Amino acid sequence: MSGADEKTRGHAAHTRDAEERGLPGEFSRPVRIAMLGAGSSFTPRLVNDVLRTPGAERGQIALCDIDENRLGTMHALIEKLIASLGRDGWTVESSTKRTDLLEGSHYLVNCIEVSGVDCVRIDNDIPARYGVDQCIGDTIGPGGLFKGLRTIPVWLDVLRDAERLCPDAIVLNYTNPMSMMCLAAARESTMRVVGLCHSVQATSSLLARRAGVRFRDLEWECAGINHLAWFTRLRSGGRELYPGLFEQARADLAGQPADPDDAGDLVRKDMMLHFGAFITESSGHLSEYLPYYRKSAEARDAYCRDGYEGGSSFYADHWPDWRREADRSRLAMLHGDEPIDWKRSWEYASWIIEAREKDQPYRIHGNVPNRSRGAGPAIENLPGDGIVEVACMVDRNGFAPTVYGRLPPQMAAICSSHMFVYELGAQAAIERSVEAAVQALLLDPLTAAVCTPDEVRRMTLEMFEAEREFLPGFH
C-alpha cells in the first residue's frame, strides 16, 4: 500500500490566501495522526497544514508505508518540516507495519495505493482495445473498478486493525475510488470514515473567478456524489450568477470565447447548459463518468482536449514519470534544493482536526452514507444506503452530514445511476465476486456506450486474468 502520490498531479491541494488562518483557541490534547500510505504526495502538505494550525502545539505524526525507501525519505522530510516551523512539541515515528502505529491514534489519514504502477497500463490498455477510452481511470469505468477491487480488501484490513487498536479514531480517506472505498467501509466497518476530495473547494473558487465576484461574497449550495456534485445554488449579493455563466459557456462552445485563457473545460460547460448546474470534477475526468463525450473520436475531438482536459491514456502515459518526479522532488526538499515553506492549504484534513480539537463548528463537504444513525437521507431522491457528497458540520462530536433535500431530477438520475455501479463494485470487492464486477461494468455509462454485454464480460475477464497477482481470492 505505497502512497498514492501521483493522483495529486493536476488535482493539487487547492490553496488560497485565507482571511483567517484558523479558529481561535488551542487544541484540547496532543493529537496523534497516523498517515497510511505515507509515501503519498499528500503527506508533506497535509502535515504542514496541521503544523501551521494555530493552537496545535503538541502531537505525534505516525508514518506508515510498505516502501522502506519512500518511508525513510518522508520521515526525514517531516522531521525537517517540524524543525523549520519551530514546532518542537511534535514528534514523528515510522514503520512499515501499521499495527506498530495505530494504537492511540486520534486520526487516520488514508492515502494507500495498492499495486503502485504495476497495473496502470493494464487498467488503460485492455479497455482501450474494446473501445473504452479513459483519461484518468481511477474512480469510474474499468480502471476505477479494478483499482477498487485491488484496494478495498486491503482497506478493509486496515479498518479491522483500527477497530481493534484505535476504535474512537476518525478516518479521513483520500484514496480513490472514493465512493466505492467509503461504501465498503460503511458496509463492513464500525469506524467513522469520511471521504475527502478537493473538487468542491477548487470548483467553488473557480466559479467565483468566472463570475467576477469575490469568493467571500459567493452564496452556494453543492450536493451529489463524489466528482458528480452539482452547484445547485450560485448567487452573489442577491444576484443569480448562472445566466452570465451560461452566456460564457455558449460562447466558449461556439469557439468564440470572451476569455481565451478560460476557453476550455468544455465538458463541464456543456453539461451545465444541458442539465442546469455546474459539476465539481474537471472536464477530462468528468468525461469518463458520462456516455456522451468519449464514445467516438468525433465526440472527443469536439469536447476533450489534452491532459486533464480529456487526453486519452493521460494517467497511464504519465503515472510512472510522476512517481519518479515525486521521489526526486522529496530528496531535493530534504537537501534544501526545493522549498518547503508552504502556506496552509484548503485540504479539509487540518480543518477537520482543528474544528474537532477546539470544538469550533466548521463546514466541509464530505463523502458519507446518505442515511446514517437512523436519520433520514441527506439527499432525499438518492439511494439511502449509498454514499453522497454533502455539506457536513464538524465539531467535538465528529462530523455530521446536513440535510440537502431533493436534487433536481435530471441531476439525481445521473448520480443515482453511478451509485449502482459503486454498489456492485463494492460488493465485488467485499465478496471477491467476478460476476458482480462484470455487472458493475455492464452498468458503467461509458463502457455501456461502446460495448455490448458480451464484450463487457470478455473485457472484464481479460483484466482479471492480467491482474491475477493483485486480486487474490476472486472467484
Q: What is the DSSP string of 108-143?
A: EEE-EESSTTTTHHHHHHHHHHTT---SS-SSSHHH
- One of 3.90.1820.10, 3.30.43.10, 3.30.70.1520, 3.40.50.1820 is the CATH number of 2-116+142-197+320-358, namely 3.90.1820.10
Tracing cell 469536447 back to the chain, one arrives at 303
Instruction: Please report, for the chain, the start and end positions of each structural domain, with discontinuous segments joined by +.
Output: 2-116+142-197+320-358
Percent of the residues in the chain that have a pLDDT greater than 70, as a whole number: 95
Residue 244 C-alpha from the chain's centroid: 29
Out of 75, 198, 227, 285, pick the active-site residue: 198
| Active site annotation includes 289 | yes
CA–CA distance, 374 with 422 (Å, rounded to integer)? 22
> Residue 21: what pLDDT?
59
| Active site annotation includes 198 | yes
> Residue 18: what pLDDT?
42
| Secondary structure (H, E, C), 254-276 | CCCCCCHHHCCCHHHHHHHHHHC
User: Which whole number is the average pLDDT over 319-342?
Assistant: 96
Q: What does each C-alpha distance from 61 to 51, 113, 292, 421 come to in angstroms?
A: 10, 20, 45, 36
> Residue 326: what pLDDT?
95
Query: Which residues sit opposite 195 in a β-bridge?
Result: 173, 367
CA–CA distance, 417 with 382 (Å, rounded to integer)? 10
Set of cell numbers at residue 349: 484534513
Mean pLDDT of the chain: 94
Q: According to DSSP H, which parts of 314-408 are helical?
A: 314-334, 348-358
Per-residue pLDDT band for 376 (boundaries 50, 70, 90) equals confident
Predicted confidence (pLDDT) at residue 435 exceeds the cutoff of 60: yes
Residues in the chain: 475
pLDDT for 200-252, tens place per residue?
A: 999 999 999 999 999 999 999 999 999 999 999 999 999 999 999 999 999 99
3-state secondary structure of 413: helix
Set of cell numbers at residue 108: 487516520
Using an 8 Å Cβ cutoff, are 402 and 222 in contact? no
Out of 289, 293, 308, 315, pick the active-site residue: 289
> Residue 372: what pLDDT?
73
Q: What pTM was estimated for this model as a whole?
A: 0.95
Q: Classify the C-alpha dihedral 328-330-336-339 as positive or negative.
A: positive
